[in-house]
Amino acid sequence: MKKIIIINGPNLNLLGNRETDIYGSTTLDEIEQISINKGNELNLKISFFQSNSESEIIELIHKVQNDYDGLIINPAAYTHTSVALLDALKTISKPKIEIHLSNIYNREEFRKSSITSTGVDGMICGFGSLSYILAIEALNGLLVN
């Protein structure tokens, strides 16, 4: 069974309460559960992780090359700020997908640029919690092809 890690950045632990008009009312625990279910359907073992700490996220990315077959990341606000996260992503030669709940191109100017997206294979944004499911399907496609 292939192993996928889904990494969530800062403030995503507050999903369900946080700016629900933008991010919806689904909690991160619920997203974890639907992601695991989708993984079961596709015969993928999903690990789910959230941290508010940039260094913890970087440390985890360093483990991906040896411990996982692919990575999905919602870097949250670090998307727009973190060259360190981009550099970490660039060290991984496994399939990598960036996701966002919201359409970052349809929001404030500072959200329209993603530093981290140049370190991944593709990006899915704007579909709410469905972005996670679409990314799992896309990653599965990259892994079987």
Binding site for ligand DQA (CB under 6 A): 11, 74, 76-77, 79, 100-102, 104, 111
> DSSP secondary-structure letter at 16?
T
Residues 6+ apart with CB under 8 A from 30: 16, 129
Q: Which of 68, 117, 65 is nearest to 91 (CA)?
A: 65
Instruction: Report residue 137 CA to chain centroid gap.
Output: 13
Question: At its nearest, how many Å lie between ligand DQA and the CB of residue 2?
Answer: 24
Which C-beta is closer to ligand DQA: that of 74 or that of 117? 74
Q: Which of 23, 68, 78, 132 is catalytic?
A: 23
Tell me, yes or no, if 80 is annotated catalytic. no
Q: Which is nearer to ligand DQA, 58 or 143 (CB)?
A: 58
Beta strands in 9-119 (DSSP E): 44-50, 70-74, 96-100
100 flagged as catalytic: yes
Q: Which is nearer to ligand DQA, 57 or 76 (CB)?
A: 76
Measured CA to CA, the distance from residue 11 to residue 57 in angstroms comes to 13
Q: Which of 68, 78, 100, 132 is catalytic?
A: 100
